[in-house]
Amino acid sequence: MHKQRGVSLSGLMIWGFILAMVSLVLIKVAPSAIEFYKIRKDVKAVVQNAPPNATVPELRRSFEKYAEIDVIKDVRPEDLDIAKEGNQIVISFAYEKKIRLFGPVSVLIDYQGSSAGQ
pLDDT band for position 6 (cuts 50, 70, 90): confident
State the pTM of this model: 0.82
CA 84 to chain centroid, in Å, comes to: 25
pLDDT at 118 over 70: no
Sign of CA dihedral 37, 30, 64, 94: negative
Render pLDDT for 59-97 as a digit per residue (tens, 0 to 9).
Answer: 999 999 999 999 999 999 999 999 988 888 999 999 999
Residue type at 81?
D
pLDDT band at 53 (very low <50, low <70, confident <90, very high): confident
Distances (CA, A) of 72 to 11, 31, 34, 35, 75: 42, 11, 10, 7, 7
**pLDDT exceeds cutoff 70 at 1:** no
Average pLDDT score over the chain: 91
Residue 75 class from Cβ within 10 Å (0-12 exposed, 13-18 middle, 19+ buried)?
buried
